[in-house]
Amino acid sequence: MGIIIKQSIKGSIWSYAGVVIGFVTTTYLYTEYLTTEIVGLFGLLAAYAALTGQLFLLGFQGVTSRLFPYFRDSQNKHNGFLFIAALVFIVGFAVFLAAYYSFKPILIASNLEKSALFAQYVYLLIPLTFFSMAFIFLDTYNHLLYDAVTGTFFQEFVQRLLLFVLVILFAANLINLHQLILAFTLVLCLKGLFLFFFLLKKKEINFRPQLNFIDQKLKKEIWSVALYSVLASLGSIFVFNIDKIFINQLLDLSNTGVYTIAFYFGTLVVIPSRPLLKISGALIADAWKKNDLGQIKDIYYKSCINQFIIGGFLFLGIWANIDNILIILGEDYVQSKWVIFFVGLGYLFDMATGANAQVIGYSKYYRVALVFIVMLILIVISLLYLLIPLWGITGAAIAIAGALFLNNVMRYLFLFGKYRLQPFNYSFFIVILFYTALYFLLQLIPQQQLILDLVFRGSIISIVSGALFFLTPVSEDIQNIGRKILKHLWK
């Protein structure tokens, strides 16, 4: 578990350095200098890029996650794995281009009235898809080389820093709106390029073919996993990016912008899980290869309790300061309050269920996840169509929270039924009771001046939470980290 904690800490440092920058960019610069339509355009382009980037990799990110351990051999350039990946990438992007030019007229026509800005810049989906595909694959490949930090550094820190600089330039009238939108696209593309050159420098990029390594059994497995993965990745990415597309189609680009800002706050809860799950996935894949159920059980439990503690801490910090957040965002974003709540709550439950997706995804039952995905797609589409007309962007947030809840319940029940894996114990009850009590305690404190109130409430949450989890054995990993920090400070 040491490598998981070490890389999780490093990844979280970069993530939260990016969060600080992203917080200023999103809560001040976006709301002060950009209209809700421009923010909506940014959110919509990013959502489409995430969807197309996953879909047109043709399931090879799943092949990488599941089968790369069988190719892994640094001395032999991983037995030609990247040559196969390059072929799939070329074919996938060609298929995307064919689909793009076929559906472009429909996409433009359906957005001309409500989202004219998106119709004008729809062509940006071409570079965004290409580099989204590149980053998704290379990040998956890199974390299977036991590096979950670098991709996080480029995506969570470098990208947000560049966006911060970009909006400053726009606010200072050094670039116009057209240049801003083009530069935004470039910034989103750069992380894929940066990661490619990083791996090239590490000498982990080699396209020499070694097709003789792939026997009939492995070839059959690659086709099988790829077919499953293209459907599964379509489902999961579809569910968690389709909300912005639905809001744009059922409401307009301005509502999409408000939702994009609110969604950002909700997803702050889940940021620490990204590096943890990346490195956990690599270790779980190796554990399944050795059929080491004991190690898998240990990783699964610790991922659940550690993520729940961290996620609960962040959710409490956001919701206890929701009135302050709404003051910072301004009148245009008043309706974002319950979007923040439901998205944050949904992701908190997702964190509490830990690495369940990785445990299933790397097991021999990985195909069963497809059944969950199909059910999930049907549920989320139904909820979005039903709830957005009723409650607007709050309805979309409830739909996403419901989807996260149902998806994780299905995974939990499956793992319990097949392997008797059950990560929940009294520690979770203690965490829930503690955070609930602390929230109601904070409600007794009168509202103060904005910055003072933020600092005061944040300090109480941090000090009291730190004391509890350091002094009690709720999480051994968090206790050990606390001891190491104190030991370092006392030197």
Would you list the DSSP string of 160-222? HHHHHHHHHHHHTTSS-HHHHHHHHHHHHHHHHHHHHHHHHHTT-------GGG--HHHHHHH
Burial annotation 102-120 (CB, 10 A radius, 16+ → b, else e): eeeeeeeeebeebbebbbe
Show the tokens assigned to 228: 């499953």
Write down the pLDDT at residue 3: 54
Q: pLDDT value at position 134? A: 93
Q: 143-152, 221-230, 434-443, 462-471 — which one is most confidently predicted on average?
A: 434-443
Provide CB contacts within 8 A for 216, sequence distance 6+. none
Q: Cα-flanking dihedrals φ and ψ of residue 47, to 5°?
A: -65, -45
SS3 sequence, 248-260?
A: HHHCCHHHHHHHH
Hey, what are 402's tokens? Answer: 């419901």
- The pTM score is 0.79
Do 356 and 412 contact (CB within 8 A), yes or no?
Answer: yes
Task: Please tell me which of 114-118, 181-185, 205-209, 331-335 the model is most confident about, judged by mean pLDDT.
Answer: 181-185
Q: Which domain holds residue 411?
A: 2-489
CA 151 to chain centre: 12
User: Which of 59-73, 227-241, 433-447 tops mean pLDDT?
Assistant: 433-447
234 pLDDT above the threshold of 70: no
Cα of 254 vs its chain's centroid, Å = 24
Segment 56-76, tens digit of pLDDT: 888 878 777 777 777 776 777
pLDDT surpassing 70 at residue 370: yes
Taking only Cα atoms into account, the Rg of the chain, rounded to an integer number of angstroms, comes to 22
| Confidence band for 1, pLDDT divided at 50, 70 and 90 | very low
Q: What percent of the chain has pLDDT over 90?
A: 44
More confident residue, 143 or 117: 117
Contact 58, 280 (CB under 8 A): no
pLDDT at res. 76: 73
Residue 277 sits at φ, ψ, to 5 deg, of -70, -30
Token reading at 353: 């269920």
The rounded distance, in Å, linking the Cα atoms of 238 and 383 is 14
**pLDDT tens across 408-434, in order?**
999 999 999 999 999 998 999 999 999
Among 109-118, 235-244, 267-276, 482-491, the minimum mean pLDDT is found in 482-491
CA distances, 378 to each of 13, 236, 282, 300 (Å): 37, 12, 30, 28
Please give the mean pLDDT across all residues of the chain: 86
Query: Looking at residues 232-243, what average pLDDT do you find?
Result: 71
Q: Residue 176 corresponds to which tokens in the numbers above?
A: 């116009």
Q: What is the predicted pLDDT for the residue at 113?
A: 77
Higher-scoring residue by pLDDT: 31, 126 = 126
Q: How many domains does the chain have?
A: 1
CA–CA separation, 250 and 29 (whole Å): 27
Q: What share of the chain is helix, strand, coil (3-state, %, to 5)?
A: 85, 0, 15
